[in-house]
Amino acid sequence: MSPTHTEVTTGAADLDPCGRADHPDCGIRDVLDRVGDKWSVLVVVELASGPRRFRQLQRAIDGISQRMLTLTVRRLERDGLVLRTVYPTVPAQVDYRLTETGTSLTHLVKALADWSLAHRDIIAQARRAYDNGHPDHEIR
Amino acid sequence: MSPTHTEVTTGAADLDPCGRADHPDCGIRDVLDRVGDKWSVLVVVELASGPRRFRQLQRAIDGISQRMLTLTVRRLERDGLVLRTVYPTVPAQVDYRLTETGTSLTHLVKALADWSLAHRDIIAQARRAYDNGHPDHEIR
DNA sequence: CCGAATCCGCAAGGATACTG
DNA sequence: CAGTATCCTTGCGGATTCGG
């Protein structure tokens, strides 16, 4: 019981990821709604190495279906992250490449990958510890 | 602007978000599977401002249900990103705070938020252009 | 106040078949 | 090759109720 806990504000906005000290849902939801899905980031990663054609992408991204690749790449195109170019050859030939905006995203993705690799062991260890301490508890 | 498109493949691996030049699915899937869900990042954001109790989190994060807050916070705890402390008062009182690992994530989240804000207008514009050029096409 | 447990709708995503 | 169309399963997540 600590009724005098005061407000937690304490002017401690130094670590606030948002620009504001209060809690607007920032633009974070936007990014996540855009590339937080199952495949978008992987497409961006693949395209970061250079332009790719449809089948190339599908082969490179393990487990993706044509349907999901189509949807994913269409959404990225719509948001202006990917440029889609159709060559009127026969059979049809299409290539995808990152736009300037899309390329700017790759730096973030790299940072994410770096973070993941840097903490994967610690996280795995934390999981084992948790699961060990909560034998019967099912969380996932 | 892209007057001289040049080859993005200047030696190939310079922009590769992964550590490797080839295409392993890096650790990106790991991060996204962990915090790519609907609420995790928002919880991290809120906790970045300091420790919070359950109800505080729920009130701060607009629209989240107790169920989702519980699940989210439990997963974060399991992964060692959040520390959960129970005070044996009555009624029960619990607070959540970021661990070192969790705090290290906030920097990434901030970068994400920054990117989002910096590109939101361009992306919105790209969308309008796309939707304008594809009137009847339904992508979302 | 802090949850766990249950029910349930809905949308994401996989599999398959077909077209240009 | 590069998609489109259709069906169908899975599980996320919301609403509600009950317990400590």
Residues 6+ apart with CB under 8 A from A93: A53, A86, A87
pTM of the model: 0.84
Share of chain B above pLDDT 70, in %: 81
Chain A contact for B59, CB < 8 A? no
Burial of B97 (0-12, 13-18, 19+ CB in 10 A): middle
State the nucleotide closest to B72 in CA–C1' terms: D13
Asked if the bond preceding A88 is cis, omega within 30° of 0, the reply is no
Facing B49 at nearest CB: one of A13, A101, A130:
A13
Q: Give residue B118's pLDDT band: very low, low, confident or very high (50, 70, 90).
A: very high
Q: Read off the pLDDT of residues B35-85 as tens digits, 9 standing for 90 and up.
A: 999 999 999 999 999 999 999 999 999 999 999 999 999 999 999 999 999
Residue B12: per-residue pLDDT: 36
| CA–CA dist B136, A60 (Å, integer) | 31
More confident residue, B9 or A125: A125
Model pLDDT, residue A140: 65
Query: What are A39-98's pLDDT values in tens digits?
Result: 999 999 999 999 999 999 999 999 999 999 999 999 999 999 999 999 999 999 999 999
Q: Look at residue B100 and tell me whether its pLDDT is greater than 90.
A: yes
Residue with smallest Cα–C1' gap to D5 = A67
